[in-house]
Amino acid sequence: MKLRLSKRALKEDFQSSFVKIMLEVAAKGDLISFAGGLPNPESFPVEDIKAAANKVLETKGAYSLQYNSTDGYEPLREFIANRYRNQGIDIESKDILMTNGSQQALDIISSCLIDPDDDILVEDPSYLAALQSFHLYNPNIHTVNLNEDGIDAEAFRDAVNKHNHKFFYSVPNFQNPTGITYTNAVREKIADIIKGKDTFFIEDNPYGELRFKGEHQKSMGIYLGEQAILLGTFSKTVAPGMRLGWIACREKELYTKMKDYKQLIDLHTGTFSQLVVSQYLEDNDYDSHIKKIIDLYGKLCGYMLEAMDKYLPDDMHWNRPEGGMFIWAKLPNGIDAVELSRKAADDGIAIAAGEPFYEAKRGLGTFRLNYTNSKPEDIDKGISILAKVIEKMRK
């Protein structure tokens, strides 16, 4: 027979091609990897999760293994809503839709909001997997540059006035890939620009609680009310393998449509995972657990910055994040980041070149480093090797 795939299945873009390259790099074997966005396994509460799982099976065994409602396990949704309320955001459990990680949340939002040739707005650079999700629905993707304090507010104003965007997608806390956090001043400007327009602000916030320096900034949910769609996940604070994320949406019609779409594609997020995490949160001090993670990540970030200061050339530039999982670096002029990623892999070091995080720009010489999933000795060794590769490339 002749295989007749859909146009969507056949579609391949630069982002998808780069992911394939990264998988090929990973398959080379024993690498020191700064390329991924993996939490450190030391942060996983294995014994506490084991205790929670046993308790769930003992007390709610049959229920935990049965089908459940599409919106998710009510006690878990109430826990999430309560944490939003503690931030001053008027969220109730009925506004929460549990998802299989925040990645599914992006697909649900895209399916319910994007028609082909619709205009959407993203940061430049933006989260790679979000760009991939949006591309599947064939929108016109417009971009706005990031400054050190967040999105360029004036460029954002021009973009919003020029196009009737369905939404603006943002990672305003320790952004992936740059590690940048929007200041409250920038958030207020953006809210004033977008308020009252037929445009949603999607706040993807997987890293917001991982701050090890400075002060937490306000959620866009405070400024924009129903215009803000808030995404969250337990992948960075409990365990990614549980695959538990959520959408918080106070726009009732949109919430209903997203719930209907989720029911269509997978009925509901796994009951057992939801109950185990809910039990874990009930029996343990979640904030103390997060504090242990940020203490660990703060030290690892410090080790990487120290190694970069020690080994990398003076004409390179990089940010010094106050939280999250990433450092964003700029190479000396004339050095290609994609080529660096290939050559570094040959020497046993994996990095994420910056190009695929941009919708259209190429050849900017930027790359992302992840510091959360490496040992201090590997960080020092890996950065020293990377510095040698860079010096070879400039000769």
The angle formed by the CA atoms of residues 342, 309 and 207, to the nearest 5 degrees, is: 70
pLDDT at 16: 66
| pLDDT for position 312 | 97
The verdict on 30 and 175 lying in the same domain is no
- Expressed as residue numbers, the domain containing 310 is 7-44+288-393
Q: Is 129 helix (H, G, I), strand (E, B) or coil?
A: helix
Contacts of 147 (CB under 8 A, 6+ apart): 180
Dist. CA 326–CA 174, nearest whole Å? 8
C-alpha–C-alpha distance, residues 383 and 367, integer Å: 13
Residues 251 and 369 in one domain: no
Question: Which CATH number fits the domain that encloses residue 183?
Answer: 3.40.640.10
Overall number of domains in the chain? 2
Strand bridging mode 326-330 / 366-370: antiparallel
Nearest to 328 by CA among 348, 347, 310, 304: 304
Q: Considering the entire predicted model, what is its pTM?
A: 0.94
- The pLDDT score that the predictor gives to residue 28 is 61
Residues 263 and 133 in one domain: yes
Domain co-membership, 295 together with 381? yes
- Alpha-carbon span 279 to 208, nearest angstrom: 23
Measured on CA atoms in the order 217, 220, 221, 223, is the torsion positive or negative? positive
Predicted pLDDT at 3: 84
Task: Quickly tell me which residue has 């996983």 as its tokens.
Answer: 44
Blockwise average pLDDT, block size 10, the chain, 395 residues: 79 66 62 90 97 98 96 98 97 98 94 97 96 94 96 97 96 97 98 95 97 96 97 97 97 97 96 98 98 98 98 96 97 92 92 93 93 96 97 86
* 3-class DSSP assignment, residue 206: coil
Same domain assignment for residues 191 and 215 = yes
